[in-house]
Amino acid sequence: METLPRIATYPGEQVGLHRLHAFGLRMKVWWCKDGLTRDLAAGADSLESRELALRAGQLTAKQTRQLVASSLEDMVEQSTRSRSPFTAQVPVNRRKVRAARKQLVGLIVRLRSAELVTPCGMARVLLLLTDPELPLYGHASKEQVAHAIIDATECLDAPRPPEWS
């Protein structure tokens, strides 16, 4: 009797189960990245879970550091120009950015350096750049903005992050 060829195979046989698990983990981290970033910014240990470890690796990658530094440079540059009335971009307080220019430039230099950064510090920098509730966008004073930038910059080096609210 002649045997029929296999029409279907279990996906794990073709791709390898470890690749499927890795893909699943990456997708889970992608969907939960904001919460994981906030957890890392609050001081969660990146070794607590595979999800936190993967997100920490993404945040501390050279590519992410360069992208965040470029975004900060754009923000500093935009603070010197008049704002276009027709834009979908979330406006930053240009006066605050100009007042904190020295701290922002220091942060940009630190991000572009070859020194290692902590996941907590990168998470704080990313949130500082993207979270509208934090000082760059919210109703904070110029001093609070400068303090938030200095805190994030110092946290890039800190072995254990100070309390962050």
Domain spans, the chain: 16-84+91-155
Q: Please report, rounded to a whole number, the percentage of residues in the chain having pLDDT higher than 90.
A: 45
- Tell the residue number behind the tokens 């754009």, with chain if given: 74
pLDDT reported for residue 106: 95
Residue 2 has pLDDT above 50, yes or no: yes
- Report the distance separating Cα 114 and Cα 53, nearest Å: 21
pLDDT reported for residue 8: 47
- Report the distance separating Cα 38 and Cα 99, nearest Å: 26
Rounded mean pLDDT of 44-53? 90
- Please provide the average confidence, as pLDDT, over all residues in the chain: 83
Helix, strand, coil content of the chain in percent (nearest 5) = 60, 0, 40
Residue 51 has pLDDT above 60, yes or no: yes
Angle between helices 50-60 and 119-130 in degrees, nearest 10: 70
pTM of the model: 0.79
* pLDDT tens, position by position, 8-18: 454 545 545 67
pLDDT reported for residue 127: 92
- Report the distance separating Cα 32 and Cα 147, nearest Å: 28
Rounded mean pLDDT of 72-95? 80
163 pLDDT tier (thresholds 50, 70, 90) = low
* pLDDT tens, position by position, 100-120: 999 999 999 999 999 999 999
58-67 contacts at long range (C-beta below 8 A, 24 or more positions apart):
58/29, 58/33, 59/119, 59/122, 59/123, 59/126, 60/116, 60/117, 60/118, 60/119, 60/122, 64/122, 64/126, 65/111, 65/112, 65/117, 65/122, 66/111, 66/112
